[in-house]
Amino acid sequence: MKTALDCIPCFVRQGLEAVRLATEDSAIHHQILRDVLTLGCTLDLSQPPPAVGAQIHRRIRELVKQDDPYRTAKAKFNGMALELLPELREKLRTADYPFEMAVRLAIAGNIIDLGVKSGLSEQDVLHAIDCVLDSPFSGNVDQFRSAIADAESILYLTDNAGEIVLDRLLIEYLPKDRTTVAVRGKPIINDATRHDARAAGIDQLVEVIDNGSDIPGTILSQCSGEFIRRFRAADLIIAKGQGNYETLCDENYPIFFLFKVKCPVIAARTGFDVGTQLMQGPPSGARPLQDDVKIAPSGLRLPADLRRAIEFHGHLCPGLVIGYCATKAGMQRLRAGRSGDEEIIAIVENDTCAVDAIQFLTGCTFGKGNLFFRDYGKMVFTLASRNSGRAVRLCLRHVEPPGIDQIPEHERRSHSVQYMLSIPPERLFDITEPRIDLPEKARIHSSVQCDACGEQAMETRLARVNGRNLCLACASRHA
């Protein structure tokens, strides 16, 4: 989601509260205030709020010369939550609906957010937990439970220290061998890192990874390549906290967001009052595909994001897999996530099934003006990032699976698919990073009425014929 104007006062408040927590030096307090106000003058409102917050907190760490100004506060809330665990487990044991209680306790823990309230007290947290069943809640728990049961790989995105201890109560209900927990790659506010995951004992339950980023949310283009791979391959993503919602709510992945609505901006976007405990499931178009047999012959197992691309395209075929492999390799090299606007551009030199995979995975479309078709009849795809200026060009090699002639005709397509998915992209494509002139961003042009047919046509697509403005269709008939 984009940053709203109403977010700007929060940035000022958050900057001042954070720097006062980090140091008593009033000169640094004044410097941070000036820096935040200057940032507000040049703010890119197309970025999600956590991207802006990260800039502020990096500056604070630079000025106070501390890599983790919230270290003491994080340890305090981790310790408090750990002391509560036995009592909360007893609540779960006696609850009428233990799984729902675990969900709601995990969301209640989202109150431990020092970016929203730096003066949060232990009493505030205890009150939120005591009132967990009385607080307004919205979410389909049965849908969530079914998604967990069906998923072969689950990625759980944590939010804050302290809160991660309460997450443990929910994680204990997840299949341990199919669940991975992800934390922040570097300290930012009181967000949980690997250190906090160990303190909460999460690493004793499931695999723990980090996302390689210091942003208080999950901006895929800023995450590590390994995290992006795990994220895209997951059948189910559980994203805790408002920061993860702000950075991922426009992504087309099977995400369940679990968080407390903390501000009017999010209340307006979600349609729920401030204070609501919210579990928001994925839209129908982003649901994971579980029935591989219907889309993959011979029991072929496919990555989750490829299965979603198949649903978008309509069937599985080698052409779609070529586009899938090209996109995965190109985006990995660009360290980029799906394009919400025109951050990524795609130039395709064919109009085959491969292009559907590129559209689906990159977010590049004709409608947004960041998909460009060059009718050269070549299996060549170029992906480029407007943010970095880098481009990756992938040209399909002539590659055939060994022994393909010995395989029955009706099995060759699925065998080719399996082979392409199993080999490194460098064997499938010639991959280069050329310097290219990025196309201009899409522009909106006025429409002008054609003097022949009377229909509206884009002004840049008119021809002047015998003193009349003609659309290209009429111009060709009058030529």
Chain segment 324-348, per-residue pLDDT in tens: 999 999 998 988 888 778 889 999 9
pTM metric for this prediction:
0.60
Residue 301 reports pLDDT greater than 70: no
Residue whose pair of structure tokens reads 């306790």 in the numeric block? 105
**How far apart, in whole angstroms, are the C-alpha atoms of residue 229 and residue 433?**
21
Instruction: Provide the pLDDT for residue 447.
Output: 92
Q: Are 468 and 451 in contact (CB under 8 A)?
A: yes
Q: What percent of the chain has pLDDT over 70?
A: 93
pLDDT digits (tens, 9 = 90+) for 231-285: 988 889 999 999 999 999 888 788 999 999 988 999 888 888 888 889 998 865 4
**How far apart, in whole angstroms, are the C-alpha atoms of residue 439 and residue 171?**
46
Query: What sign results for the dihedral spanned by CA atoms 447, 451, 455, 457?
Result: negative
Size of the chain, expressed as the number of residues it contains: 479
Give the residue, 119 or 467, on which the prediction is more confident: 467
Tokens at 351, concatenated: 């109009």
Residue 217 pLDDT grade (very low, low, confident, very high; cuts 50, 70, 90): very high
- What is the 3 state secondary structure string of 35-62? HHHHHHHCCCCCCCHHHHHHHHHHHHHH
Please report which helix (H) or strand (E) contains residue 240, including its range. strand 236-240
The domains located in the chain, with CATH, are 5-64 (no CATH), 71-286 (3.40.50.10880), 298-432 (3.30.1330.130), 447-478 (3.30.60)
Q: Hey, is 169 helix, strand or coil?
A: helix
Residue 124 reports pLDDT greater than 60: yes
Residue 303 reports pLDDT greater than 50: yes
Residue type, 53: G
